[in-house]
Amino acid sequence: MGEINRLSTTLCGIELENPIIPASGTFGFGYEFAEYYDINKLGTFSFKGTTKDPRFGNPTPRIAECERGMINAVGLQNPGVDAVIEKELPKLKEVFHKPVMANVSGFGVEEYAYTCQRINDCDQVGWIEVNVSCPNVHGGGMSFGTDPKAAAEVTKAVKAVTTKPVIIKLSPNVTDIVSIAKACEDAGADGISLINTLLGMRINLKTGKPVIANKMGGFSGPAIFPVAVRMVYQVSNAVNIPVVGMGGVSTAEDVIEMMMAGATAVEVGAANLINPCACLDIIESLPSVMDKYGIDNLSSIIGKSHE
């Protein structure tokens, strides 16, 4: 059996050569990383969070360092869906020859639906990953992903306008992640991806003020990995749709642990910001780590911890 077969997995009916997916917001629109290595070696990648209209993002500073992680409050800076379709995807097509995962954000249900409908017409896009961690401007600023009803409403609206598999990306900043995942499944979601960043903050000891202009931001990196494993385990045990696991993944061992917890594929985020070749390194080291633990193929270990 060749290495490719050993690493393959199927996500919402589309086969991936391997389960490694750079996470949205850490890999641009892909072609930027094609200067470092052949990005076709990836399973796929999730491109930069895209909204209906262009967004400049939050004021700076937007990044704060932490022990074993980082906090960011970039604020969904992106050129808007029209520019993504007209400029970014054609550039990507020149260097990436696999289906790509589109990541979509919005501040109202109609916005999510509009952006997903536009992206549905792009042949390059295999899956739509819908980030429900955005503040719901019509619902008092709480994110769609903190309320099962709101998450289900977004899921239904998106499913009504697209034929592509819809994967809902959930926020971990909730008390009961399972009820939200199940509400998305009941509303027609084809998959769940989790976790998005935890909420974090740093304070400058000299000024006594928050380091980030936005005060708080998304906490990511190896420090959040155990939280991510726990939530992937809980959700994959409760739903009958595939789960994409992420949160602090930085090694081949982490990937195997995530898959044993129940992930069908694994996204790698902050590690890409430290080492642009992080995903390639993980893919290349997977076979030897699998040999060490007596794993013939990755698809056989999905959810092993539930047995």
Q: Which residues of 104-124 are buried (b: 16+ CB within 10 A; e: fewer)?
A: bbbbbbebbbbbbebbeebeb
CA distance 266 to 163: 23
Q: Are 224 and 245 in contact (CB under 8 A)?
A: no
CA distance 148 to 123: 31
Q: Are strands 125-131 and 166-169 parallel, antiparallel or unpaired?
A: parallel
Q: Which residue has the tokens 């994110």?
A: 143
Q: Which residue has the tokens 């995807």?
A: 89
CA distance 141 to 132: 12
Q: Which residues of 205-240 are buried (b: 16+ CB within 10 A; e: fewer)?
A: eeeeebbbebeebbbbbbbbbeebbebbbbbbebbe
Give catalytic status of residue 134 as yes or no.
Answer: yes
Question: Which one is catalytic: 116, 134, 184, 279?
Answer: 134
The residues annotated as belonging to the active site are 134
